[in-house]
């Protein structure tokens, strides 16, 4: 795909990269140990998956621009997953599944969508796509991010002080944050204690956002009613892990938004064209933020 779209560039596939001094652009998910030091003329490193937390940014020379993947199909898939899980929680689908296993016919109280407060943590491309997918149902939508954001029809919070206010008014929280040192363990005791009793969470960002023992304690105590996890601290989730069989945990195997090879290739090509034309690329990583 790259060779056809950009015939002026010679495309080489690792490990047959020829003279390392010829390499100006590199597209990769992870970097083999020592590779980056052998590329003296590298200009841009493209991550071909969502996020860049798999890369050690400290080992990448400061003169190399790191670009994360901004790909419409990823955002669309994540929006589907967010809508699916939020609606399932809102309409008590998992509670009814529990009742079915126990042969129990019992109607649960219905809450109007306008009275259900849904919050998205992370207001990047995927967070905004999730909010757009949820908006037609009439939920009371809010969002939280590290720095100020504005999204039409959404009550936005930011920073540490804003996080407390955001959590306190969120009945269903969907975490789509990037993974940084600040967001490790984000889904933990402090956050759960600030949420309304009986709230639910959907974790679809990064597994290391989750403090698993804290989640189990919050579910067992009734502080949280249910958790849907698409990502876990260790993947695959090991056999025998308490999360597998917890009655209030639903697990999907990191399938919320799978990277599409064709879409990823098109995104890299579009950014390469921008760079070669002297235009700013989309998705440039801010090193101090980690995303």
Q: Give alpha helix (H) positions in 135-260.
A: 159-168, 189-194, 212-221, 242-245
Total-model pTM? 0.89
pLDDT at 262 (0 to 100): 84
> How much of the chain exceeds pLDDT 90, in percent?
84
Closest CA to 183 of 160, 167, 153, 155: 160
Distance CA 78, CA 72 (A): 10
pLDDT band (50, 70, 90) for residue 129: very high
Identify which of 275, 261, 225 has the alpha carbon closest to the alpha carbon of residue 74. Answer: 261
The stretch 78-85 carries a mean pLDDT of 98
The answer to whether 2 and 11 are in contact (CB under 8 A) is yes
**Strand, coil or helix: what is 209?**
helix
Please identify which of the residues 12, 164, 184, 254 carries the catalytic annotation: 254
The per-residue pLDDT for range 173-184, each reduced to its tens digit, is 999 999 999 999
pLDDT-based confidence at residue 218 (cuts at 50, 70, 90): very high
Q: What is the mean pLDDT of residues 147-164?
A: 97
pLDDT band at 291 (very low <50, low <70, confident <90, very high): confident
Angle between helices 125-134 and 72-90 (to 10 degrees): 50
Q: Look at residue 261 in the predicted model and tell me its pLDDT.
A: 79
Q: Is 273 a catalytic residue?
A: no
Mean residue pLDDT across the chain = 95
* Interatomic CA distance for residues 65 and 59, integer angstroms: 13
Average pLDDT of the residues in 89-110: 98
Band of the pLDDT at 79, cuts 50, 70, 90? very high
The predicted structure's pLDDT at residue 2:
79
| Given 116, 206, 223, 246, the catalytic residue | 206
DSSP characters for 80-146?
HHHHHHHHHHHTTHHHHHHHHHTT---PPPP--GGG-EEEEE--SHHHHHHHHHHGGGT-EEEEEES
Compute φ and ψ for 119, nearest 5 degrees.
-120, 140
Q: Which domains does the chain have, with CATH numbers?
A: 2-71+259-276 (3.40.50.720), 73-251 (3.40.50.720)
Whether 275 is catalytic: no
Residues 37-72: tens digit of each pLDDT: 999 999 999 998 878 888 998 889 999 999 999 888
Tallying the residues shown for the chain, one arrives at 291
CA distance 202 to 79: 13
Residue bearing tokens 């090193």: 287
């Amino acid at each position: 795909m790259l060779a056809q779209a950009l015939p002026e560039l010679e495309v080489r596939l690792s490990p047959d990269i020829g003279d390392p001094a010829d390499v100006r652009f590199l597209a990769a998910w992870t970097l083999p140990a020592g590779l980056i030091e052998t590329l003296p003329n590298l200009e841009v490193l493209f991550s071909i998956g969502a996020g860049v937390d798999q890369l050690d940014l400290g080992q990448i020379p400061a003169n190399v621009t790191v670009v994360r993947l901004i790909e419409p199909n990823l955002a669309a898939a994540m929006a589907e997953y967010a809508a699916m899980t939020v609606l399932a929680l809102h309409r008590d689908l998992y509670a009814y599944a529990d009742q079915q296993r126990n042969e129990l016919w019992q109607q649960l109280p219905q809450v109007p969508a306008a009275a259900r407060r849904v919050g998205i943590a992370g207001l990047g491309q995927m967070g905004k796509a999730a909010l757009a997918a949820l908006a037609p149902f009439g939920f009371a939508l809010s969002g939280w991010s590290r720095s100020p954001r504005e999204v039409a029809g959404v009550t936005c919070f930011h920073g540490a002080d804003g996080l407390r206010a955001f959590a306190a008014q969120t009945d269903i929280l969907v975490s789509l944050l990037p993974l940084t040192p600040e967001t490790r363990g984000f889904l933990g005791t402090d956050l759960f204690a600030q949420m309304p009793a009986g709230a639910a969470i959907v974790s679809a960002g990064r597994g290391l956002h989750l403090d698993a023992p804290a989640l189990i304690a919050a579910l067992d105590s009734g502080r949280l009613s249910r958790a849907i996890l698409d990502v876990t601290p260790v993947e695959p989730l090991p056999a025998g892990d308490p999360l597998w069989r917890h009655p209030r945990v639903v697990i999907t195997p990191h399938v919320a938004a799978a990277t599409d090879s064709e879409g990823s290739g098109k995104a890299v090509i579009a950014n390469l064209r921008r760079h070669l034309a002297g235009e700013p690329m989309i998705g440039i990583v801010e090193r101090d933020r980690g995303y």
